[in-house]
Amino acid sequence: MQRRLITLAMMYLGAATAVILLIDGLSITYGAKDAVTTVTTVLYDGRLGTLPDDQSFSYGELPFPPFATQTISDSGVILDSTTSASIQAGYGVTASNSIILDRHTGYKVTFEAHVLTQTAVNNDRAGFSLIVLSEDLEGIELSFWNDQIFSQDDGGNLFGRGETANFDTMVAPTLYDLQIFSGTYTLSSSGTEIMNGRLRNYSAFEPPPGYPDPYETPSFIFLGDNTTSAQASVKIDYVAVRPNDLIFLPFAIRP
């Protein structure tokens, strides 16, 4: 049996790392593309006992009145838009908060939410949705029913149903991870994948005159009710974003 001498070494380059394998005198080097900041940025922590717009988020609501309600409860906030289907209300954060969402290097949005009630008069819409858009506007909108999560489509089927997964959003507060990388997204919870699909571009949406256009806002995160076709009461406990830990170049073999 032929024996091979294998040596593993790691080289630290500032915040980046190179992993080097030496096999019988040949070196195989995995190098970090760039120094990548891996700090988790917490956008909202309900344990602080304040509203999301007292932390990193801005609160928005249409129309007025009637109003949605925000109630601090336990370790989060309950956003309730059930007074009227016409209410649209939620929390948004953008690149103005020094958050750049680059899908090419990848990032993860972690959030804890608990749907308490939800009704819809349109099969393609929900009273609680998450929007995550990268810096180039490629991203995904996910809608949460009582027992389903589904994506919003783009193109000719703008805001029609995309991928759909059966999932109980009402049983308990659930910590979700939304991983964005290149042209795809993956939604998971407790390490188990719930659904995945391609990223969308919703910039074809045209808001009414005088209304903001969230779908043309780079590096944008939104949680709340953004439709007049549904209403919900949802408890939001936590939101954070983190870039991918390390981006590796293709390996190179050198004598």
pLDDT in tens, 228-249: 999 999 999 999 999 985 433 3
Bridge partners of residue 72, in order along the sequence? 77
Tell me what pLDDT residue 14 has.
Answer: 37
Break the chain into its structural domains and give their ranges. 6-35, 41-243
Domain boundaries 41-243, corresponding CATH code: 2.60.120.200
Residues, the chain, total?
Answer: 255
Is residue 146 scored above 50 in pLDDT? yes
Report which DSSP code applies to 250: P
In the structure, what pLDDT confidence band is assigned to residue 91 with cuts at 50, 70 and 90? very high
Buried b (16+ CB within 10 A) or exposed e, 61-77: beeeeeebebeeeeebb
Q: How far apart are CA 130 and CA 143, in angstroms?
A: 7
Q: How far apart are CA 227 and CA 89, in angstroms?
A: 9
pTM of the model: 0.82
pLDDT tens for each residue of 4-29: 443 344 333 333 444 434 444 443 43
Bridge partners of residue 38, in order along the sequence? none
Buried b (16+ CB within 10 A) or exposed e, 168-188: ebbeebbebbbbbbeeebebb
Q: How far apart are CA 156 and CA 46, in angstroms?
A: 39
